[in-house]
Amino acid sequence: MIGRAIAELAAGPKTPEAIDAFFATHKFPIVDGNAITVVWRGGAEAVHLKHWVFGLPSSQQLARVDGTDVWHLTLQLPFGSRVEYKLEVVRNGHGEWMQDPLNPNIAHDPFGGNSVVHGTGYVAPSWIQHDPTVASGKLDEVTFDSPTFGRRGFGVYVPARFLQSRRYPLLIVHDGHDYMRYASLGTILDNLIARLEISDVIVVLTSSPDRLREYADDERHAKFLTEELVPFVERVFPIDARPQTRCLMGASFGAVAALSTASRYPGFYGRLLLQSGSFAFTDIGDRNHRGPLFDPVVAFMNRFRADPAPVSERVFVSVGMYESLIYENRSIVPLLQSTGMDVRYVEARDGHNWENWRDRLREGLSWLMPGPFLHVYE
Amino acid sequence: MSTVVLLGPQGETPDIGPALAEHGIAGKVALITAGLQDRESDDAALVAALGGVSAVNLKLHARAADVFDKDPELAAAYQARQLRFRNIQSFYRVRLEKADEAARMISVRYVEPELLEQEDRVSVDQLRQLDVDHLDRCIAIRQAYEARWNRDRPAIAGHRAELASELETCNAIVIAGGHVASLFNRIRLFDVLGLAAGKPVFAWSAGAMVLADRIVLFHDYPPYGSDIAQVLDAGFGLAPRVVVLPDPKRRIRMDDKAGIARFARRMLPASCVAMDHGARLVFEDGMCTRAVAVRLGIDGSIAQSGAA
């Protein structure tokens, strides 16, 4: 399939002026209804689109417009899609991955950043943007000595109108610093609190030096959070120490850590926010195709699936339709519901990435830790 | 004769001043802004909107804080009661959601239309019964609490004496909107409406909601996607037989005819009244004598009554 704009370019004169005019008069990628055309200009042996949309070939070759150095590929993206990608440009037999130089939209993550295409119907939420009229919460870094892990640091967010005399719900975020950096968590908390959509909340941001091990149903991690970190935070900050006001949250392996920790301490965390959980399991055998890092996850999930229990009260699950974990996440929802826990499940046309997790925070947090918006009529 | 005037949200062009003037209120009014909670004292714009009538803010939020400071035993009991309210509200909401889900499941069954109509009536009746049961539990909890922790406790009685004295000099009560539960609890804590018995009351938004028989929370566009309207508690009943729904443009899916019909039937015999800016309901001795508002019909219709 060739996009309309490329077809017009191919049909016209191939002079440098005409090509310059083409680039000057379009925004890239070209979004034309559901057709998304990625374009690259330059000399190369080949150009590939690299993306992580599960269900599509992860590498697709761009075609060159005859007689030009313009490369293009058109994809059909369903309404509301948001897709991250890179380009691989092959020169002298060597492929180089790069962000799309024609696309100003970049999503950052711990590995650098990807170009982003916003398909028709996707609109970045207003509540992720900094609002100068909204008071900002305060961020601090705290260290404490964990009997399990030794000296550990964590971040703490306290809301703008913090009062020592009040008691606050507690939200504990796995990979919390990454959520702040790549998913605008601080800005989102400020905005949602100001809109009365979530309660004033104290947020603990944890980060692990060995997350793939500690988050994979590691007994030490559960103990660290529940018997060491939470009691420490409750001693230092005015926390409303009830399960209903204690939420554990994470994405990917962080979601596994949240669920497995809650499973080890049922009734302690009354709220769970699980995003794109790496909930790998097997129906036969004990090795999942995802590799040995997942072995403890598979063991945990298989146990949980065999004997699901109400480990919390409310669970919010979100996942991207374009990630390979869609199957695992869809599978866990009826399982969680079967225990009597109140479960909400949301899918988005997005992938396994921070901006997908960012875009679901309003829905998840406002349901798990609602602010007074339902009670306020001014 | 007791007069109660309910208004819509005040917005940029408040109509409380004209409403007071229309009802001949002059001199001084008692202002209740407890719904604004810790912003209770930020009342300058509101006082300016009263159209020259002077006002004394009763500062019920601050008074309640003082009561809880001075009487920790009462404060602990109050907190325990509020926690009980929150818990039963949450259980009631679960039941509502499940009943609503059952109604939707039944409504798409392949049976004769007449049976579906019957089932629809049963579904609405079940929601109504859940509302009634919840309301009964709220009333019972409140009665038990008030019997044990009555208003003669010194921390409350002192404020009540002051309030009675202030109210004596006022010709009307004006109740602003805000946090509806907070407002309701503070008015009730001091029994302000009992102290002011017979004086005209003007109220809007949350202030109007608490004067109805039932306080109903609603939002068709919550940030988490969807929700079902729920009874919060019994109101003061000064504006009987209406369910007050402020700010409908932002909060009610007015084009959902089936949803409107189901909600209006659920709330019967009360009328559901959507009150945007400029709306007005006037009650004289408990009878609605003037209505400028949008009424939600049991057939899903939206009818504007009266003229602004």
Tens digit of pLDDT for each residue in A219-277?
999 999 999 999 999 999 999 999 999 999 999 999 999 999 999 999 999 999 999 99
Rounded Cα distance, B307 and B24, in Å: 20
Domain assignment present for residue B85? The answer is yes
pLDDT in tens, A176-188: 999 999 999 999 9
> For chain B, how big is the Rg over CA atoms in Å?
20
Domain assignment present for residue B155? The answer is no
Q: What per-residue confidence (pLDDT) applies to A208?
A: 97
CATH class of this structure's domain A126-374: alpha beta
Rounded Cα distance, A150 and A155, in Å: 17
Rounded Cα distance, A252 and A257, in Å: 9
Q: Are A58 and A68 in contact (CB under 8 A)?
A: no
Please tell me whether residues B125 and B205 are part of one structural domain. no
Rounded to a whole number of angstroms, the distance from the CA of B135 to the nearest CA of chain A is 17
Q: Are B244 and B231 in contact (CB under 8 A)?
A: no
Q: What is the DSSP letter of A370?
A: B
CATH 2.60.40.10 placement within chain A: 4-118
Domain CATH number, residue B284: 3.40.50.880
Please tell me whether residues B287 and B182 are part of one structural domain. yes
A315 touches chain B (CB under 8 A): no
* Beta carbons of B217 and A370 less than 8 Å apart: no
Rounded to a whole number of angstroms, the distance from the CA of A69 to the nearest CA of chain B is 47
Quick one: how far is CA A93 from the chain centroid? 35
Q: How many domains does chain B have?
A: 2
| Closest to A89 (Cα-Cα) out of A106, A69, A109 | A69
Mean pLDDT of A299-309: 97
Q: Are B60 and B186 in contact (CB under 8 A)?
A: yes
Please tell me whether residues B284 and B226 are part of one structural domain. yes
Q: Strand, coil or helix: what is A106? A: strand
Please tell me whether residues B298 and B202 are part of one structural domain. yes
Give the count of alpha carbons within 13 A of B195, CB side only: 23
pLDDT over threshold 50, residue A202:
yes
Of the candidates A195, A342, A372, the beta carbon closest to that of B179 is on: A372
Give the count of alpha carbons within 13 A of A206, CB side only: 33
B14 touches chain A (CB under 8 A): no
Please tell me whether residues B251 and B187 are part of one structural domain. yes
Q: Would you put residue A33 in left (φ > 0), alpha (ψ -120 to 50) or beta?
A: left
pLDDT in tens, A2-50: 888 999 999 999 899 999 999 999 999 999 999 999 999 999 999 999 9
Rounded Cα distance, A169 and A240, in Å: 5
Please tell me whether residues B59 and B83 are part of one structural domain. no
Rounded Cα distance, A71 and A352, in Å: 27
Rounded Cα distance, B17 and B265, in Å: 35
Give the count of alpha carbons within 13 A of A346, CB side only: 23
B227 touches chain A (CB under 8 A): yes
Q: What per-residue confidence (pLDDT) applies to B307?
A: 52
Q: What per-residue confidence (pLDDT) applies to A2?
A: 85
Please tell me whether residues B208 and B187 are part of one structural domain. yes
* Beta carbons of A342 and B206 less than 8 Å apart: no
Of the candidates A366, A377, A378, the beta carbon closest to that of B224 is on: A366
Please tell me whether residues B51 and B73 are part of one structural domain. no
Domain assignment present for residue B153? The answer is no
CATH 3.40.50.1820 placement within chain A: 126-374
Please tell me whether residues B126 and B253 are part of one structural domain. no
Q: Are B6 and B213 in contact (CB under 8 A)?
A: no
Q: What per-residue confidence (pLDDT) applies to B308?
A: 45
pLDDT in tens, B112-146: 999 999 999 999 999 999 999 999 999 999 999 99
Please tell me whether residues B42 and B191 are part of one structural domain. yes
Which residue range(s) make up the domain with B174?
A: 3-64+170-305
Please tell me whether residues B192 and B300 are part of one structural domain. yes
The pTM (predicted TM-score) of the whole model is 0.95
Please tell me whether residues B207 and B273 are part of one structural domain. yes
pLDDT in tens, A61-90: 999 999 999 999 999 999 999 999 999 999
Of the candidates B9, B181, B223, the beta carbon closest to that of A363 is on: B223
A4-118 domain in CATH 1.25.40.20? no
Token pair for A94: 């060597």
Domain assignment present for residue B164? The answer is no
pLDDT in tens, A311-353: 999 999 999 999 999 999 999 999 999 999 999 999 999 999 9
Which of B88, B180, B224, B273 is most worth mutating to test chain A (most A CB atoms within 10 A of its CB)? Answer: B224
Residue A272: strand pairing partners: A248, A315
* Residue showing tokens 């030096």: A209
Segments of chain B with pLDDT less than 70: 1, 307-308
Q: Of B148, B179, B213, which marks where a domain is finished?
A: B148
